[in-house]
Amino acid sequence: MKTKRSTLIKLLPYIVPVLLMGMVSSCKKDAANITPNTNQVNSKLQVRGTGKYDNGFFLINEGWYAHGTGTVSFYDFGTGVLSDSLFTKENPGKNLNPTSSTLQYGTIFNDRLYLVSKVGGPLVVVNPHTLQEINRIAAKSGNDFRAFVGIDANNGLVSTNSGIFPINLQTLALGTKLSGVTGQVGDMIKAGNYVFVLSASSGVIVLNASNNSVVTSTSVAGMLCAFAKTPDGAVWSAGGTQLVRIDPATLVIQTITVPFSIYGSWAAWHPGSIAASTTENAIFIAKNATFSGGTQIYKYTSTNSASFTTPFITVPTGRELYGSGVGYDPAHNQVIVNTVHSGFTTNYGFNDLCFYNASTGALINDIAYTGYFFPSIAVFH
């Protein structure tokens, strides 16, 4: 559940209704397209795939808490257009209600896009090429999902505010909650024969992927931000002043000291502000405040001893990261950054989707758009 601080942040626009009147049309959740103001250097790029939603990436948006559900947006590399509310557009008569829920997480596994909601919302599976719904776990008051990870064609795991549940991917039936993992669990990733999960109380916990049992000999306390996986197979997490590399074959842990504090988001959970390159063994991690709101992103590589001396990316003045805030586009070697304007209240109705060169940190494109979307995570094919 959200803390009073988080809820207040999202309800602050209520305090200034006069200022909101001019923004009503841009805040509608059923708008087919966002009309952005763009400062473009090179926004029209191509990737493989001929499906309607193949040539780009998705943005999973929380939505304006208590004013409507979250939405699914899509950025098209070919046209340079960012479109919104696509789930409801592609699935007439269906929705992601209740309005009190927040759409917080998404990932593509085995050619299926999993949309995961918190606070009583559904877990919905859609075709990532068409966005048409395939199946769902219906919304109900007891639901409080966090993230999903696929294990194989038939099995996956769903993290929640109270432990982890196995899920049958053919029927979407939840099994019995796993023993040995209690309390709120967020991000998860599979690597090799293990599943790495981030627990609010225990940090990183390692599960045996074949039977979901806890590997009791390995856990990493103090971790708050996870996960990313580099081309060498290593799994990365962070917390406090530590960046941690875990070898998924041997479970050997390497710790790198970070000269600033790395925070998580357990009070009002969102996916971790960390991503990995697919072309080099590099990690991109945000220097966030206690709940989000960072302005700097660092790029760490073991070959650069000065990785944490200077930020790799600093967002323009007057903006801050929201949600995960940091994603990596493997098709074009870009870091994708989501920001809102700083200052709470109506400032959160101004968004920017920014594209940075993952090798140089140079800004490639900046798309500004309005509306209370509260972007949570970017999802790539």
Contact 224, 236 (CB under 8 A): no
Domains within the chain, CATH numbers bracketed: 4-380 (2.130.10.10)
Contact 133, 126 (CB under 8 A): yes
Give the HSE-up count for residue 66: Cα atoms under 13 Å, Cβ half-sphere. Answer: 10
Closest listed residue to residue 234, CA positions, set 268, 203, 280, 266: 280
DSSP secondary structure letter of residue 174: B
pLDDT attached to residue 164: 98
pLDDT tens track for 284-337: 999 998 877 899 999 999 999 999 999 999 999 999 999 999 999 999 999 999
pLDDT attached to residue 34: 55
Contact 296, 258 (CB under 8 A): no
Q: No. of H helices and E strands in the chain?
A: 3, 27
Q: Which residues of the chain have pLDDT under 50?
A: 1-33, 35-43
Counting residues of the chain whose pLDDT is more than 90, the rounded percentage is: 82
- Checking 304-309 for CB contacts under 8 A at 24+ apart, the result is 308/258, 308/259, 308/260
The model's pTM = 0.90
pLDDT attached to residue 67: 84
Contact 87, 53 (CB under 8 A): no
